[in-house]
Amino acid sequence: MTVSLLHEAALWDAGFDAVAGIDEAGRGALAGTVSVGVSVVTRCDSWPDGLTDSKLLSAARREAMLEPLASFGVARAVGHASSAEIDEVGIVAALRLAARRALDAIPVAVDAVLLDGTHDWLTPPPADLFSDHADEWEAPPVTMIVKGDRACASIAAASVLAKVERDALMAAAHEDHPEYGWDSNKGYGAASHLEALRTHGPSPLHRVSWKLPFRAS
């Protein structure tokens, strides 16, 4: 599937000038941050050659995409939520926290969001009997796009930005915790990573609220 700006153009035509494509990296990992990329585009008609879902690109091609992405759109950022924050508030709230950090780092007002997937995790839930008050932050209007990282240029850009930055964080963390192989598995549940957990137990960067194969006592 080739990316396009069709979904972005529909929002531009509806009066939304600055449209942000948003995607995450690390949601299903056992260790490390969850990272959310944001790529903001105003009306345009082109995107970097070869841009697509980050999962379809090699690490080298993702890295090479950073330079053309630096001039695609009007703003871009990546936000992160730590493993400790994921343990404290849960993965969905952590995704929203990382997205808010990315949006706060962008020097333009975002009018609308294109979000990859089927579940709107960006819009705060309303207050209920179990919460004192609703989240006071208001997300821009969100449009969900199934497989948006393969259909929307702005979401694909966000996916590449998030993936490259999170991979770099995990490669750096590998230097302190080489036993888990994060330079290759990036914190996901590869067989060697699971075996290292059974042998060494969790590190400070593991999501200990998740069902991990802890070391036998």
Residue list for the binding site: 23-24, 116
Annotate 107-131 with DSSP letters as a single string. SS---EEEEESSS--SSPPPP-TTS
* Known binding residues for a divalent metal cation: 23-24, 116
| 3-state secondary structure at position 24 | strand
Contact assessment for residue 213 and residue 190, using Cβ atoms and an 8 Å cutoff: no
> What pairs with residue 4 in β-bridges?
152
Quickly count: other Cβ atoms within 10 Å of residue 134's Cβ: 12
Query: Of 192, 185, 200, 213, nearest to 26 (Cα)?
Result: 185
Annotate 78-114 with DSSP letters as a single string. EEEE-HHHHHHH-HHHHHHHHHHHHHHT-SS---EEE
| 3-state secondary structure at position 209 | coil
Distance separating alpha carbons of residues 26 and 184, to the nearest angstrom: 14
Q: Which two tokens stand for residue 57?
A: 């690109």
